[in-house]
């Protein structure tokens, strides 16, 4: 699986406890890297970054994770683990789109949609799902077209719109599937008055091999109303948070002679300057 694009989940000093929960909830979890700041793991072969970022940001259901399960038992097992000290967003039950489905926010604020279906239909076991609400309502299709034009090897797999019989605005996106450089994602519009919107609590990281690649994604994603932040973080014009990072960064930080100097250098950067980091 192409792991150049992957989600980053923000925790208030509880990333290690979250990793334990996910190993209990899902049958295929491998820890790739673990330190006091970051835990990198793979769930069903898909890369996730768990960040001990402190109390500044909290994840919320504006970006949830659709998990396509092969059996009812798999759905029920994950639900049983994730619901402990969490809360149901939609109860575990039969729905028109699935005989077994439930939407749960775990005790750390991460939202999971557990769905009985065929992974071949989604192309990926776990898909981040963007919900466009409030001032971003109605922009899901525009955002999908923007993202798929930006990344190579991208496509729109399906785009279902609300009909006159649905409980939201006709013509807006009810459900969409798309890929960014082979990485599967989903999106929807919702006009309801949700108590959340996109935040740094869940961001999308993009590993870049060259400075040209860093410049390309940074400039395109911050343009036309986007917003720069520090250490490779940014918000695009729809409010979605991204991290544009050098793929070599973990190796540089693992070097005991250079790691602190590397950290001190990139803490002063907005967009990453790869040449400066390599010169350390």
Contacts of 264 (CB under 8 A, 6+ apart): none
Provide the pLDDT for residue 254: 86
pLDDT one-digit tens code per residue, 207-222: 999 999 999 999 999 9
Average pLDDT over residues 129-141: 98
The neighbouring-strand residues paired with 8 are 49, 203
The H or E element that residue 168 is part of is: none
Q: What is the mean pLDDT of the chain?
A: 96
Enter the pTM of the model: 0.95
**Whether residue 2 has pLDDT greater than 80:** no
**Both tokens assigned to 33:** 């890297």
Domains for the chain: give ranges and CATH numbers.
Answer: 55-189 (3.30.720.110), 209-278 (3.10.180.10)
pLDDT at res. 248: 95
pLDDT band at residue 123 using 50, 70 and 90 as cut-offs? confident
- Comparing CA positions, the residue from 160, 150, 217 lying closest to residue 180 is 150
Q: Is 254 helix (H, G, I), strand (E, B) or coil?
A: helix
């Amino acid at each position: 699986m192409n792991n150049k694009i992957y989600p980053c989940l923000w925790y208030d000093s509880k990333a290690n406890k979250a990793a334990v929960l996910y190993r209990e909830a899902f049958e295929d979890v491998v820890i790739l890297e673990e330190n006091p700041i970051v835990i990198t793991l793979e769930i069903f072969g898909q890369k996730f970054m768990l960040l001990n970022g402190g109390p500044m940001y909290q994840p919320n259901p504006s970006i949830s994770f659709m998990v396509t399960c092969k059996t009812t038992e798999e759905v029920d097992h994950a639900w049983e683990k994730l619901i402990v000290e969490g809360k149901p967003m939609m109860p575990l039950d039969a729905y028109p789109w699935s005989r077994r489905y439930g939407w749960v926010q775990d005790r750390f604020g991460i939202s999971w949609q557990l769905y009985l279906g065929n992974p071949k239909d989604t192309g990926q076991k776990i898909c981040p799902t963007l919900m466009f609400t409030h001032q971003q309502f109605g922009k899901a299709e525009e955002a999908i077209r923007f993202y798929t034009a930006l990344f190579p090897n991208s496509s729109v797999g399906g785009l279902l719109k609300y009909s006159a019989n649905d409980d939201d605005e006709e013509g807006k996106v009810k459900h969409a599937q798309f890929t960014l450089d082979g990485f599967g994602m989903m999106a929807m519009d919702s006009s309801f008055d949700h108590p959340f919107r996109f935040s740094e609590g869940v961001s999308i990281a993009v590993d870049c091999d060259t400075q040209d690649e860093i410049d390309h994604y940074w400039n395109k994603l911050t343009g036309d109303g986007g917003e720069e932040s520090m250490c490779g973080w940014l918000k695009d014009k729809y409010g979605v948070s991204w991290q544009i990072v050098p793929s070599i960064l973990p190796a540089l930080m693992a070097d005991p002679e250079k790691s602190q100097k590397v950290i001190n250098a990139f803490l002063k950067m907005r967009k990453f300057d790869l040449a400066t980091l390599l010169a350390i």
